[in-house]
Structures are given as C-alpha cells and as structure tokens.
Amino acid sequence: MSRAVMIQGTGSNVGKSMLVAGLCRAARKRGLSVAPFKPQNMSNNAAVTVDGGEIGRAQALQALAAGLEPHTDMNPVLLKPETDVGSQVVVQGKRFTTVKAREYASLKPSLLKAVEESFNRLKSSYNLIIVEGAGSPAEVNLRAGDIANMGFARATNTPIILCGDIDRGGVIAQLVGTQAVIDPQDAALVQGFLINKFRGDPSLFDDGYAMLENQTGWKGFGVAPWFGEAWKLPAEDALDIATPNRDRGLHVVCLKLSRIANFDDLDPLAQEPAVRLTMLHPGQALPGDADVVIIPGSKSTRGDLAFLRAQGWDIDLIAHKRRGGHILGICGGYQMLGRIVSDPKGIEGAPGTNPGLGLLDVQTVMTPQKHLTTVDATLFGDSIPVRGYEIHIGETHGPDRDRPFATIGGRPEGARSADGTVVGSYLHGLFRDDTFRNHWLESFGVSSETGYDASVDATLDALAEHLETHLDVAGLLAKAR
C-alpha cells in the first residue's frame, strides 16, 4: 500500500527542498521504497531525466537521495522564467507553452490532471511519496486553481507537515498566521509543524515551541538546527549559490546573469580547495586577477547578452582575453560568445537578431526543438571522457566549430578559438565528472582534491542523520497516508 506526506513551508526558501531530500535518504536507510514529488516548481536550474525530459534540479537531488534516477513524474509542472512577467511551462518534461503570469492563473486548473497522473504513477511504483510544496499556502490570493500546495493536497487527500524558518525571524507569526488565513478545510490536512534552520541552543526556543503547539493545536515534530554542510549540495535558486571564502587558488569568475540557468555546473569547482570561485554580481567589474571567466547557461540568451553589456562585462571580457585570460561559455554562454544570436521566430522573446561578443567565430539560430539528452563524449584531441547533458534550444555553426570542444560519436561538439583561450560548449555538468575536472584543472597547473559525486552522497547521508537526530522522523513519516 502506497502512502504520501507533504512538506509545505510558511514561505519560499524555508528549506523544503533540503528537508525532502533528507527525509528521502532517511526513509531509504529505513528500507522504505521512497520517491520525491513536487507538483509545480519554478526554476531555471533543471535536470535531464532518464525518460528524456526535464525537471527541477531539487527533484533530481531528491531522487538521488532516494536512490533513483530522475523521472519527469517527480516534477510534472516546471516553470522556467524567461522575463520578469513570463515563463516557459514544461509539462511532464516537455515544453508546453510560454505564458505571462496572469495567463498562467487560468491555465493551472487544466494542469491538475497531469499532476495527478504523475503522482498516481509514482504511488503505483513506490511505497512512500514525500511531496514538496511551493512557496507558501498562506498566499490565499492564489488559492483558486492551486496545484502546488493546498489545491494538490485537497485533490489527493495528502497530509501536510508545515515548516517554519526560524532563521528569518518571526517563526511563531509564520505558523500561527498561516493557520489563521488558510481555509479551515485546508488547515484540517495539516498534521503538524517543524522548525528549520535554528542557530544556537535549541532549548532557548522551548517556550516558543510549546506556545506554537498550544496556539495551533498542531503537533510539533522538532527543531532542526542549521545544517552547515548544505552548501555542498546543488542549489536550485541562484540566490543560494554558496562559494567558500578563499583568498588564493585558481581564480574562476562566473558572471551572474539575470536569467542564469543550470548554475549547479559550478558546484564541483566550489568544493575544490585549489579553486577560488567568485560569483560576479551586477555592477561589479571583472577582477583583474581572474584566470578563467565562465559565462553560464541562460534562459534568455539575447536578453542576458543585453544584461551583460549593461554591466560593461563585454569590455571586461575583451581586456581579460588580452591579458591572456581564458573564457568558457556553457550553453547560453556559448551562444553569447559567437558573432550573432538570431531568434527569427521569437522563441525566447521578441523576434530579432543581436550581435554576440565576437570571441568565437560561430553564429546561433534559435529553433523550436529543445535538445534534452545525457551525453558521453570525448575531449577533442584527447582520450579524456566527458560526461554531461544537453538542455538547450538553438543550433550553432561556424568556422571555430572545426576546433570543437569534444566529439560525440565522431560528431563535433562546441568550439574553440584559434589560440585556445576561448571555449564554448553546450554540455552542462562537465565538472561533475572527476576525470574531466582534474584534467581541466591540471591544464591550469592545479589538481583536483575531491570526488564530487561521493561528496554529495556523503552529504546526503549526513543530512539524513541530522534530521534523525533533531526531528521525530518516525512520527512524521507515520503521518503519511
């Protein structure tokens, strides 16, 4: 018999994704057949799935915690923001449409069928489903047609544990206020609460904890202290990108674009002791001591080209190259490095053509078909294996493709400048591969000191132990039905 329990939060970024990952690993260690599920997610950090689609990166991490390959059923609706008011809508792994926020409100009820289909397929395959909500159920102005929180829970009769974030302050008001504003029938599904991200002595919150139980009538499942190793796990929100504070090492600088996508490409580099990784924020000049500049993926290549130029980074990049510095463009960043980016059909915005940075002699035309695939390639001119994935639209051609980054079954992938200092590739996830990462670092005179996948797995084990120590995990999972 399959059961499910849902972790909802009093707001965004309260730690729901991390909690679900830790609970999935804890359940797996208990010998349970468990899978993660998030009805609706909003993120430009996506993962390619075993069935050839895409889901939010957090659900891919949760799948890993559960010992599973990522599958589109784990996140049936994914919103990928392209502008401040519009998003691409991905349904069960495939692009469905692009809508503005107001239009999406009317679209949501029709998506509930796909959400329920995916949920029921998972329930037929696993004994326990741990569901992650999105944002907050207290956004009652968005309750009509909701598929992410209470709308989903009511449709599937899934019990809820509500998570409050004490690090933000006002956690009592977060939880009591949520109960006060939500519909009583929605509140009836809430089986209890937990407190997340506590810093210091948890006993100092004993009175507040008792007050919450008395005020709400909900059972408390514990207080989880701040998990200091969370930075070692892939972040889904660009606001959560963590870089260790190092003052030496190979200086890798990544441009923090306005629509940065799949930025977890950087996580393995952040963990390398010999690397100093800097996320360059808008308005900041490129440091003169940068060794390598990475232009990451983007959900809006032409839009982020304009954003990049508005920061003056185009001028900085030319000066960086003139000093002998290296540049790596990944996916959208690769497209920006070329001479032209053309979108005649308006796939990413208004139709048009923009000049690229001109650092690679290639040009890109946006096409409707999205490339979604895992890749086993070989570094061009070498026998080094390159493992990654493609998740992009657009076709890139030009003379510098004669010096590819890699080959896939004999087919060239990516491009290099004549002097080898500028490289572009559509392959995400390059640095997760320990062999390639070490080879790449050694080309700059430093060596890898970590095993990335092993580090992530060990951190998930530590997260599960952390939750088992501080929360009533057995009692929480017993609320599943």
Does residue 241 carry a pLDDT above 90?
no
Report residue 466's pLDDT band, with 50, 70 and 90 as the boundaries.
very high
Predicted pLDDT of residue 246: 81
- Indicate if 243-452 has the same CATH topology as 3-231: yes
* Residue of 71, 428, 466, 470 marked active site: 428
Q: Give the β-pairing of 40-42 and 77-81.
A: parallel
Q: How far is CA 426 from the centre of its chain?
A: 18
DSSP E strands in 157-249: the ranges are 160-165, 190-198, 219-225
Average pLDDT value for the chain: 94
> CATH for 3-231, among 3.40.47.10, 3.40.50.300, 3.40.470.10, 1.10.10.10?
3.40.50.300
pLDDT at 1 > cutoff 80? no
Q: How confident is the model at residue 329 (pLDDT cuts 50, 70, 90)?
A: very high
User: Which whole-number Å values give the CA distances from 124 to 34, 53, 155, 391, 475, in the listed order?
Assistant: 11, 21, 17, 29, 24
Domain boundaries, the chain: 3-231, 243-452
Dihedral over alpha carbons 25, 30, 35, 41 (to 10 degrees):
-40
Q: Over 60: is that where the pLDDT of 209 sits?
A: yes
pLDDT band at 336 (very low <50, low <70, confident <90, very high): very high
Hey, CA dihedral for 287, 293, 296, 298, is it positive or negative?
positive
Residue 164's pLDDT is what? 97
Rounded-to-integer distance, Cα 340 and Cα 396, Å: 10
Record: fold of 243-452: Rossmann fold (3.40.50)
> Whole-model pTM?
0.91
Would you place residue 242 in the very low, low, confident or very high pLDDT band (cuts 50, 70, 90)?
Answer: low
Residues 129/33, Cβ–Cβ less than 8 Å: no
24, 163, 254, 331: which one is catalytic? 331
Say whether pLDDT at 244 is over 80: no
Asked if 24 is an active-site residue, the reply is: no
User: What's the N-to-C CA distance of the chain in angstroms?
Assistant: 9
Look up 331 and say whether it is catalytic: yes
What pLDDT, in 10s, does the model give residues 397-450?
999 999 999 999 889 999 999 999 999 999 999 999 999 999 999 999 999 999
Q: Could you give the CA distance from residue 431 to residue 437 in angstroms, rounded to a whole number?
A: 5
Contact in structure between 308 and 342 (CB atoms under 8 Å): no
The stretch 92-101 carries a mean pLDDT of 89
Q: In Å, how far from its chain's centre is CA 129?
A: 20
Q: What is the pLDDT of residue 245?
A: 73
Q: What is d(CA 370, CA 373) in angstroms, rounded to the nearest whole number? A: 10
Quote the pLDDT of residue 99.
87
